[in-house]
A and B are shown apart, each in its own frame.
Chain A
Amino acid sequence: MAVMGIAEALREGIREEMRRDPTVFCIGEDIGVPGGWGGAFTVTLGLSEEFGPERIIDTPISESGFAGIAVGAAMTGMRPIADVQYGDFLFCMMDQLVNQAAKMTYMAGGAVKVPLVMRAPVGSTRRGAQHAQTLEVFFTHVPGLKVVAPSTAYDAKGLLKAAVRDDNPVLMFEHKLLYGSKGNRAEKGAVSPIGEVPDEDYIVPIGKGAIRRPGKDVTIVGKLLTVYRALGAADQLAEQGIDAEVIDPRTLVPLDKELILESVRKTHRFVVVEEDNRTHGWGAEIAAMVAEEAFWYLDAPPVRVSAPDIPPPFAPGLEELYVPSIDRVVAAVKGLF
């Protein structure tokens, strides 16, 4: 059992899958350049030394183009792991992801599969409006895609392996403050969870959430960074006599609805914490699901703690107001009692 951060866990997951299956390869910008960074957040650092430029493929700055290449390769027997340097660049490849990858199996009446993994770093990290967005909900809305969002090293490796082995396009969102990237690629203000990662082969099944902290008084659902904001809030709430249960869905599509609903039936209160913009957001969908399917168990309205409806601001003082803080989560929970 090794102890590592998420960037390293992803790297080991990719390495093991590439050793296991010769059809697995990586494609993206600056991922394998000798003397380079191993991708924007070091995830692929050193992999080109083992697998060479034929399987760790550096592309021109052509996001839509290499996304399409990944789609075409996936349609013909390969299992590409593509990545973008910043999730925001997924918008440059929206057609390939939404019109092509997500719909190819359906349009073919089930005759074509697209086993593609697309990894994307998200989250506000003092980079302003075009390098810091939270994007998951743009893709959770698209039938045909699966979406995962690991918040621990164990889950990152296990979900990466599950995504590679899945026969559908899987988007993997990774939070920049959780990577634990080292050296000059480290992030200011990082949470960087370090966790135990088994040496033996394992997967985290797509579609299975996790209870991060059991509790009986309120259910708090978070993803990526906001899992840690929820856990921080739960610690403070415990001191005030409120026992919060924190749930990390880990997979956003397909969602482990029953895990959330079972918790709400027990706690009778529900808060969702997201770094997404509030309106028409991911939290809105989760809250609507709880309202529809567990309404009679609720003692208070389902509540969202979100980013406001603004682009991510640059100034650190403003960014702190943008990303839900522990204090905001605590206040939201206390408002339910």
Chain B
Amino acid sequence: MPEPLGADRLLALYRKMLLIRRFEERCNALFLQGRIPSTLHLYIGQEASATGVCAALRQDDFVLGTHRPHGHALAKDVSPRIIMAELMAKATGCCRGKGGSMHVGDVRQGVFPAVAIVGAGCPIAAGVGLSARMRGTDQVAVAFHGEGAANEGDWHEALNMAAIWKLPVIYVCENNLYGASTHFDKVFRVAHVADRAVAYGMPGVTVDGNDVEAVRDAAITAVARARAGEGPTLLETLTYRQCGHSRSDACDYRPDDEETEWKSRDPLTVTGARLLAEPHSLPQSALDEAEASVATEIDDAIAFADASPAPSPDELERYVYWEGD
């Protein structure tokens, strides 16, 4: 088992989750104000998944996000400034305004442009893992995906090839119970997505995806296995999308008691309470300071984006093909 986290490091994960939460809330407000000209798929409620997984990664490891990628990028330390600038369609955005919400990433942090076609990032991650091995590095690749992706052909093809070639990949299935509006039970006959791992000959692990420490511990085991050349892991994080699938989704298809139950296990509440309790026993002011510093960081990101120019018309046809480093 990985070593338990001390108060300082757990607080850092709490702050990271808080950054994602408050970033997403501000995005929603900016969207409603018309300042983000996009649809948005918010990560609210799922923060522990990306944060816990990325806590097990090195800076030079790789991440492939999904159509809901802000949390993945922030968890892997992509600057909030360039994410926000991208969302606000500015030339300083992480994709120079060519990507938008569904494609944020920054290769300098090992985060590729997010792949917004469900499941399609899974074989790409296998290729990234194959490349790492061929280049003689011990880098690993993480493919974040929702449970919906596990019903795509690409997912099955990718897990099979990753397994037969023992590729250094961690397939992180963020099971938030709903593929858009479709409940898990309507589209799976197995109890857990991770049950399918046995079909490919790899470990399948299901963890409480709202518990950042549980996610981190499982990710550390999976990453160690991948780095050691022992192959991939399917890591299922059970979590809940506390917001709608995308803009203007009121979630009328979800029962109220289900939402209430999941919100009672909110990842920030869980970790916040743990930090205040034994053995960490942090004062409430520690959490308040995290709140204040996150607010400052997001204010700065929005100010940066606001001050940035839109892409100029002569940018229209650029970067269709590679233009050099």
Contact = CB atoms under 8 A, between A and B. Distances in A.
Given A77-B131, A104-B113, A108-B95, A72 B103 contact: no
Specify which of B94, B113, B130, B321 lies most central, judged by the most chain A CB atoms within 10 Å of its CB.
B321
A168 B320 CA distance: 9
B31 interface: no
Given A72-B130, A107-B99, A109-B96, A60 B160 contact: yes
A112 B126 contact: no
Contacts of B99: 107-109
B135 interface: yes
A144 B126 contact: no
B125 interface: yes
A64 B127 contact: no
Interface stretch (B37-45, B151-159, B258-266, B295-303): B151-159
A304 B95 CA distance: 42
B322 A68 contact: no
A145 B134 CA distance: 25
A146 B154 CA distance: 24
Contacts, number: 148
Interface in B275-325: 318-323
Nearest to B155: A65
Interface string B35-62: 0000000000000000000000000001
Contacts of B164: 60
Contact of A62 (B97, B105, B107, B161): B161
B123 A107 contact: no
Contacts of B323: 110
A76 interface: yes
A108 B161 CA distance: 27
Nearest to A99: B117
Contacts of B117: 95, 99-100
Interface string A93-122: 001100110001111111111110000000
Nearest to B317: A143
Contacts of B322: 105, 110, 113-115, 167-168
A73 interface: yes
Contact of A110 (B131, B161, B319): B319
A105 B321 contact: yes
A59 interface: yes
Contacts of B126: 65, 68-69, 72
Of the four ranges (under 10, 10 to 19, 20 to 34, 35 or more), the interface on chain B belongs to 35 or more
Contacts of A70: 127
B110 to A, nearest CB: 10
B319 A78 contact: no
A74 interface: yes
B157 A72 contact: no
A195 B55 CA distance: 58
Contact of B120 (A95, A109, A143): A95
Interface residues of A, number: 43
A68 B120 contact: yes
Contacts of A71: 123-124, 127
B115 A100 contact: yes
B125 A64 contact: no
B105 A108 contact: yes
Nearest to B128: A72
A54 interface: yes
B274 interface: no
Given A59-B161, A65-B157, A105-B319, A72 B115 contact: no
Interface in B80-115: 93-99, 103, 105-107, 112-113, 115
Nearest to A55: B134
B122 interface: yes
B194 interface: no
Nearest to B165: A57
A114 B124 CA distance: 11
Contacts of B129: 72
B120 A107 contact: no
B173 interface: no
A75 interface: yes
A168 B62 contact: no
A78 B134 contact: yes
Nearest to B99: A107
B130 A77 contact: no
A112 B112 contact: yes
B168 to A, nearest CB: 12
Contact of A78 (B131, B154, B320): B131
B52 to A, nearest CB: 24
Contact of A96 (B62, B93, B96, B120): B120
A56 B201 CA distance: 24
Contacts of A108: 95, 98-99, 103, 105, 107, 112-113, 319
A66 interface: yes
A54 to B, nearest CB: 7
A91 to B, nearest CB: 13
Given A65-B157, A106-B98, A110-B96, A144 B320 contact: yes
A290 interface: no
10 contacts: A23-B135, A73-B134, A78-B134, A100-B120, A105-B321, A108-B113, A108-B319, A109-B97, A110-B319, A167-B321
Interface of A: 23, 25, 54, 59-60, 62, 64-78, 80, 95-96, 99-100, 104-115, 143-144, 146, 167-168
Given A74-B127, A78-B134, A105-B320, 20 more contacts: A65-B158, A65-B161, A66-B161, A68-B122, A69-B126, A72-B128, A75-B112, A75-B128, A76-B135, A100-B120, A104-B113, A106-B320, A107-B103, A108-B99, A109-B94, A109-B97, A110-B319, A110-B323, A111-B106, A112-B107
Q: Which 3 A-B pairs have the closest CB atoms?
A: A72-B127, A68-B123, A65-B157
Interface of B: 62, 93-99, 103, 105-107, 112-113, 115, 117, 120, 122-132, 134-135, 141, 153-154, 157-158, 160-161, 164, 318-323
